[in-house]
Structure 1
Amino acid sequence: MRKIIIFSDGGAIKNPGPAAAAFLFCNERKGIFKKFSKYIGEKTNNEAEYEAAILALLHLKKFLGKKLARVTEVELRSDSELLVNQMEGKYKILDKKLQPLFLKLWNLKLDFKKVKFKLISRKKNKEADKLVREILSSLDKKPSID
């Protein structure tokens, strides 16, 4: 049995505003073997957090293939209290924009043997946060055409 640890993060410059998502794949010894970050358009912070988790599971499934994904345990670590508690069934999904994202993430987790969502501090998620900030800061530096 294989276990993959994912650190995911999403953020927006304003809420809503230009947003980015990022994730890292690690083995159980916390050795990073894949990093990814992406601009995801205009989103709220909560939407960006969901998009990051969705992208992470999509990429992991593609990376492993369907067969290997089915026997892989995943621990998805996030500093989003809302995302983790909604995915663990502790919080209701009140924001209608989050409902389709929740369903997409819920269905994606079924492709793996087990997916556990774990709340971590921002301090412990600094690598993924750094990737998000790099994307967002690069948006600020692009010249505007008036």
Structure 2
Amino acid sequence: MKVKIKWTYKSLKSTETNFLSDEMQAGQAILLVEDIERTGRAKQLTFVDSQDQPWTLKELKAYMKGIQTEPHNIKVYFDGGYDVKTRSSGLGCVIYYDQNGKSFRLRKNALVNELNSNNEAEYAALHLALKELELLDVHHLPVSIIGDSQVVINQLTGEWPCLEEELSRWADRVEDKLSQAGIKPEYKVISRKNNKEADRLASQALKNVEITSSMEIN
């Protein structure tokens, strides 16, 4: 989870002013607040999350302690490919997450035949990733969702209209999955070059190479 730090600073001559920090990971924010408190010149220290909800230091520490045994700091990369000749779609997703003080990478792909376009394949790849998050029991957490499909991400953020009926149905499926799990998506568009892992998985699926793996990473 990312938060901002909000506090009031009081000088030796009792002059006061308010500060709001940049957004940062909650663990880093806790360390900074503990350091700020040592000065004895800060008061009304609070944290504000991405939904503008306030947290006290005690509440945020309790939250961070509680999620250590569950997957957190989650990043999802997705990609879909469509073969016009075979009318087959390759779906790929890579999920990075932390749990119990360790970092992990999960990779998953799938070959499907009921789709009709590359954009549908992109949506289906994201939906595949959300099903993997469901298996990991990820819920009520922010999740970074990253892909090279401007269509999918801009439609899900509301930047672009979703006029095609099939894509609209896929968008509803994705949003339903997110809502059911209480996941707060943080969408980011990247270049295809920076989405190589998910792209490779989608390509391998089109070649009928099935991959499901999970490993600890440094």
TM-score, structure 2 length as denominator?
A: 0.57
Query: Unaligned regions of 5+ residues in structure 1, if any?
Result: 140-146
Over the matched positions of the two proteins, sequence identity in percent amounts to 29
Match of 2:169 in 1: 100
Measured in 1, the distance between the counterparts of 2:85 and 2:182 equals: 32
Q: Check 1:14–1:129 CA distance in 2 against 1; reply closer, same or farther (3 A cut).
A: same
1:57-78 per-residue CA deviation (whole Å, 9 max, x = no partner) reads 12102212xxx512x2211101
Relative distance call for 1:94 and 1:4 in structure 2 (3 A) is same
Which whole-Å CA distance do the structure 1 matches of 2:85 and 2:122 have between them? 12
Structure 2, unaligned runs of 5 or more: 1-63, 65-71, 210-218
Q: In proportion to residue count, which structure has more helix?
A: 1
What CA deviation, in whole Å up to 9, does each residue of 1:113-142 have, x standing for no partner?
A: 411121111011001100111111348xxx
Pair 1:133-2:203 in alignment:
yes
Regions of 4+ moved over 3 Å: none
| Structure 2 residue identity aligned to 1:74 | V
Structure with higher Rg: it is 2
1:8 corresponds to which of 78, 81, 84: 78
What's the TM-score, normalizing by structure 1? 0.83
Match of 1:142 in 2: none
Alignment partner for residue 27 of structure 1, among 97, 103, 113? 97
RMSD: 2.0
Counterpart of 2:155 in 1: which secondary structure? helix
- Secondary structure of 2:113's counterpart equals strand
Structure with the largest fraction of strand: 2
Mapping of 1:69-88 within 5 angstroms? 69-70=139-140, 72-88=141-157
Query: Which residue in 1 is equivalent to 2:108?
Result: 36
Structure 1 residue 124 and structure 2 residue 181: aligned?
A: no
User: Which structure exhibits the higher relative contact order, with contacts defined as CA atoms closer than 8 Å and separated by 6 or more residues?
Assistant: 1
Cα separation, partners in 2 of 1:127 and 1:33, compared to 1, 3 Å: same
Contact kept, 8 Å, 1:22 with 1:36, in 2: the verdict is yes
Alignment: residue pair count: 133
Structure 2 distance, partners of 1:117, 1:15, is 32
Alignment correspondent of 1:55: 128
In structure 2, distance between residues paired with 1:114 and 1:10? 22
Structure 1 pair 138–107 and aligned structure 2 pair: CA distance change class (3 A): closer
